[in-house]
């Protein structure tokens, strides 16, 4: 296997196989795969908060028979100034084979000074990449539409700060889908719009097969933007009324956590069109497939086409 750091570094064939394997896990018995990664050890290294990603990785690891260690950056030797590199080396010396890393810095992987025996899985870094979330989203789309080919996916909201948007767009184009973005001007991103064109909000809602609403990342906002958020639901949120603009088959997604009443009306979260709970459930299956892949198990050898380098 290799590391999983970005969608760009994964072959399209690998992505398709990961989704197929995840679908297989979705239909399997909870105990069916407990032997697959027995004896391997996963370390969740979260330098930013998480509920979905961390918990689903832990559940996924255990369903494959892995041991999972407890690690809390706030009470680890990180607080005494130990570097990420030294932390990884230390864990590797204890036999950790997979580190699942969430980190605030875009360049966290680029600045690691050497090679590791252990596999790294990116659980979100800065505003750059969240590859397993993108895989979760694509599995959810496939379960609804059978294929991603030809789907128009409208990604709406805080695109500028969104690693979920960047990882989605990186793969959607290669998988034959048509990503577009929308939302307020303050969240627009010229680089993203080179690949996913900007479409005014209500037009985007009419065009979309998938409406992916993004969380306003208040922790990454400058103070002077906060006041503009007051009227967000009214201007750029998905209300029940706006659902009427959607095609009959269109679905609503959100990576979570949701700011209730800001990106989404309360009623939209639980609406028939919402796939938010399904996305969360798929988190376990996708992360099982990813853990198996990085350890070189489960899928056939050619699938491991990007092994090695960080
Ligand atoms: N979607 C997502 O990454 O959620 P968490 O921050 O709760 O892991």
Cα separation, 53 vs 185, in Å, equals 29
Cα separation, 28 vs 24, in Å, equals 6
Provide ipTM, 2 decimals: 0.98
Cα separation, 97 vs 142, in Å, equals 31
Q: Which of 46, 51, 129, 263 to mutate to test the pocket of ligand 1 (most atoms within 8 A of CB)?
A: 51
Answer yes or no: are the C-beta atoms of 107 and 49 closer than 8 Å: no
The separation between the first and the last C-alpha atoms of the chain, rounded to the nearest angstrom, is: 12
Tens of pLDDT, residues 78-126? 889 899 999 999 999 999 999 999 999 999 999 999 999 999 999 999 9
Tens of pLDDT, residues 154-205? 999 999 999 999 999 999 999 999 999 999 999 999 999 999 999 999 999 9
Residue with tokens 């605030």: 104
Residues with CB under 6 A from ligand 1: 50-54, 124, 133, 255-257
- What is the structure's pLDDT at 222? 73
Cα separation, 195 vs 181, in Å, equals 10
CA atoms within 13 A on the CB side of 216: 23
If you measure from the C-alpha of residue 302 to the centroid of ligand 1, how many angstroms do you get, rounded to a whole number?
A: 31
> Which domains does the chain show, CATH number per domain?
12-129+282-303 (3.40.50.1370), 131-279 (3.40.50.1370)
């Amino acid at each position: 296997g290799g590391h999983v750091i970005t969608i760009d570094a994964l072959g399209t064939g690998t992505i398709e196989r990961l989704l197929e394997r995840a679908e297989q896990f979705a239909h399997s018995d909870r105990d069916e795969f407990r032997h697959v990664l027995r004896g391997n050890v996963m370390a969740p290294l979260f330098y930013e908060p998480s509920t979905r990603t961390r918990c689903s990785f832990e559940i996924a690891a255990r369903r494959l028979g892995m041991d999972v260690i407890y690690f809390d950056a706030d009470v680890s030797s990180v607080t005494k100034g130990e570097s990420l590199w030294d932390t990884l080396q230390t864990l590797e010396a204890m036999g950790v084979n997979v580190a699942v890393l969430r980190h605030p810095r875009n360049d966290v992987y680029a600045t690691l000074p050497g090679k590791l025996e252990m596999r790294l899985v990116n659980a979100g870094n800065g505003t750059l990449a969240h590859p397993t979330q993108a895989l979760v989203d694509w599995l959810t789309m496939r379960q609804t539409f059978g294929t991603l080919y030809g789907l128009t996916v409208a990604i709406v909201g805080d695109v500028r700060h969104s690693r979920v948007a960047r990882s989605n767009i990186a793969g959607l184009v290669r998988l034959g889908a048509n990503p577009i973005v929308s939302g307020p001007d303050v969240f627009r991103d010229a680089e993203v719009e080179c690949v996913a064109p900007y479409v005014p909000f209500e037009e985007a809602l009419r065009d979309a097969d998938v409406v992916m609403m993004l969380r306003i990342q208040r922790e990454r906002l400058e103070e002077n933007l906060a006041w503009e958020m007051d009227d967000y639901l009214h201007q750029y949120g998905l209300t029940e009324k706006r659902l009427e603009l959607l095609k009959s088959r269109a679905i609503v997604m959100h990576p979570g956590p949701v700011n209730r009443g800001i990106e989404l009306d309360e009623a939209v979260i639980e609406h028939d069109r919402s796939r938010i709970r399904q996305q969360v459930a798929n988190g376990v299956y996708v992360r099982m497939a990813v853990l198996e892949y990085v350890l070189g198990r489960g899928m056939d050898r050619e699938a491991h086409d990007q092994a090695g380098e960080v």
